[in-house]
Amino acid sequence: MKERRKRKGVVSWNALFWCTLLLVVTSIFFTTTFFFSPFDLQLSPLPFISETPTTISQPTITIRETVILPDQALIFLNYPPSFRFHTKHDLLCLYFSADSTNRITQPPIQLHFARLREQIVRCKLPPRGNSVSLFIKSDGVLPTKDSSTHPWTPLVYEALFDRDNTTIVFVKGLNLRPERFIQPSTLNCIFGWDFSKPKFFLKSDVISGAQEIIRCNTPKSVIIGQEQSQSIKVTIKERDREIFPSIARPGLRPRYSNKSTKKAHEICICTMLRNQARFLREWVMYHAKIGVERWFIYDNNSDDDIEDVISFLQRIGYNISQHLWPWVKTQEAGFAHCALRARSSCKWVAFIDVDEFFHIRVNGDLSRMIWHHAKPGQKVGEIRILCFSFGPSGQREVPREGVAVGYTCRLSGSERHKSIVRPEALNQTLINVVHHFHLRAPFVSVDAEKRKIVINHYKYQVWEVFKEKFYRRVATYVADWQQAENVRSKDRAPGLGTKPVEPPDWPNRFCEVRDNGLKNWVLKNFLDRRSHLLPWQPEFQNRIRKRRRRKDKTQRIVLGKNLF
């Protein structure tokens, strides 16, 4: 009896085997049926959605908008905060058409950093009937679905918040005449994110307008949220016309500078250039010697590696900033833009080109010349200085010593003038004609004494350099060299015509007076007595590098001897 009760509590091996086998077969059958049944497509996926984590779209680089200029395309990129900026070698400009599978790629002309997380890519113009996008070599094609493409005109292309709670708007396509005002009541400024939705517009009154520059009141809500609303745009609307297309998002207001506070720099220079990198060293070094402390370089679509030259000058101590200004024939607007940027840090700003040099004919530097013509209390807001145009001076190749030493023969009479301006004295319209500005009351302009200071304008250089002028003029109201307009203007070369064909007597033209004044001053103050080189010559830089290498080598040898 006791043995029988014991057996009832024990499962036989035979029963255990069959139970296990049944369990395995059932599991295999269930698994096979669930995963491979032909009817599983009819099952609703809803029960599994709650088990799958929600997919979050990853931030990507996007094309904000594209502007088609007469000779190139500008593509504006937005970068998420965590992304590194691409280099020129990471990208390709991509050209395609809607009805073709053929795609063409080309390297970009240049890349430029804009504000915050933005970058501007310059590409060659797309072929007729094609669109342009970008191809990132590591990630593929950037979509253009949500971006806008604008022709160059009409377009609101730049804007700045000014410190008096106004907004400066730069517009192409108003077609206003030079130095003429516009009736403010015929325009409105419009702020918003999407100009196709009138419900979200903020309209404001225009205070003044002239040439390509419109000044309007900034809405209070925009002022309050200025730092947070970096994506807000501004445009204009003429009476009985559609809203102008716009890519302009105003920059932050310059910090207000109390009049009693001394400016950081006494004298600055603003210039606009294109492909002048090889002349920049001499121009900067020379003007630093006579008292210029800060340079604002507005780059009008250079493709000659000007960034390398500016970086070199920055490394050796010159205070230079490069600002991309790609807009075609907008020099007056660019100078107004630069005057606003320089106002907070510069007491005086000169507006000259890279082929123009202040020539001080008496003892003293540029600061002394300014003081002489604009003594305190006289309310002088602008000093106008005569320009004398130099010719090729018999040269057939670019002078190795630079323009000031290489070109010494000029026309006898002066041509035009250029100005040194107090930014605080400018009229609210910011009207200028490149050579001078309009001032607000009570400020006045004065003419500099030519026996004390003039400008050497190396206008007619060797043909290799001069023919670059035929590409395009930067001033809005000056006809290009190829156009048969204003052929007798002082902005042209007398008797040259409209084609870039070198006249046989070019090296000897425009030579009426031998003028060695600036040449002698440069040789006295810059020539290295050991090498007989000037500091902007490439050979001089090579000698400096060799000296440094020898010095470093000597120091290492001495250090090694001391260690042992």
pLDDT tens figures, 256-313: 555 557 899 999 999 999 999 999 999 999 999 999 999 999 999 999 989 999 999 9
Q: What is the pLDDT of residues 375-396, one digit of tens each?
A: 988 999 999 999 999 999 999 9
- Half-sphere exposure at residue 545, Cβ-oriented, CA atoms within 13 angstroms: 5
Kindly state the percentage of the chain with pLDDT values over 90: 64
Residue 264: count other Cβ atoms within 10 Å of its Cβ: 14
pLDDT the model gives residue 45: 31
Is the CB of residue 112 less than 8 Å from the CB of residue 118? no
Higher pLDDT, residue 226 or 429? 429
pLDDT the model gives residue 146: 77
Residue 148, burial from CB neighbour count under 10 angstroms (0-12, 13-18, 19+): middle
**Would you state the structure tokens that stand for residue 51, as one six-digit string?**
């088990």
Q: What is the pLDDT of residues 425-475, one digit of tens each?
A: 999 999 999 999 999 999 999 999 999 999 999 999 999 999 988 888 888
- Average confidence score pLDDT of the chain: 85
Strands ordered across the beta sheet of 131-136: 103-106, 91-96, 131-136, 140-141
Q: What is the pLDDT of residues 184-213, one digit of tens each?
A: 999 999 999 888 777 778 999 999 999 999
Secondary structure element (H or E) that encloses residue 357, with its range: strand 356-360
Q: What CATH fold (topology level) applies to the domain 62-150? A: Immunoglobulin-like (2.60.40)
Kindly state the percentage of the chain with pLDDT values over 70: 83
Three-state SS at 116: coil
Residue 207, burial from CB neighbour count under 10 angstroms (0-12, 13-18, 19+): middle
Is the CB of residue 78 less than 8 Å from the CB of residue 128? no
pLDDT the model gives residue 356: 98
Give the phi and the psi of residue 469 in degrees, each rounded to 5. Answer: -65, -20
**CB burial string 378-401: b at 16+ within 10 A, e below:** eebbbbbbbbbbbbbbebeeebeb
Q: Give the angle 536-283-372 at the CA atoms, nearest 5°.
A: 130
Provide the β-strand partners of residue 270: 296, 351
Give the phi and the psi of residue 92 in degrees, each rounded to 5. Answer: -135, 140
Q: Provide the CATH number for the domain formed by 265-521 in this structure.
A: 3.90.550
Question: With bands split at pLDDT 50, 70 and 90, how would you rate the model's confidence at 47?
Answer: very low
Those residues whose C-beta lies under 8 Å from the C-beta of residue 304, and which sit 6 or more positions away, are 275, 276, 277, 278
Question: Is residue 16 predicted with pLDDT exceeding 90?
Answer: no
The domains of the chain are located at 62-150, 155-238, 265-521, 528-563
Residue 253: count other Cβ atoms within 10 Å of its Cβ: 20
Most confident region among 55-59, 95-99, 274-278, 555-559 by mean pLDDT: 274-278
Nearest CA to 300 out of 418, 88, 468, 130 is that of 468
Would 62-150 and 265-521 be classified into the same CATH topology?
no
Is the CB of residue 159 less than 8 Å from the CB of residue 172? no
C-alpha to C-alpha distance for 44 and 51, rounded to whole angstroms: 14
pLDDT the model gives residue 226: 61
**CB burial string 352-364: b at 16+ within 10 A, e below:** bbbbbbbbbeeee
Question: Is residue 243 predicted with pLDDT exceeding 90?
Answer: yes
Question: With bands split at pLDDT 50, 70 and 90, how would you rate the model's confidence at 548?
Answer: low
Q: Which amino acid is at 295?
A: W
Ranges 48-57, 98-107, 349-358: which has the least confidence: 48-57
- Half-sphere exposure at residue 36, Cβ-oriented, CA atoms within 13 angstroms: 6
Helices (H), 290-397: 306-315, 331-342, 366-373
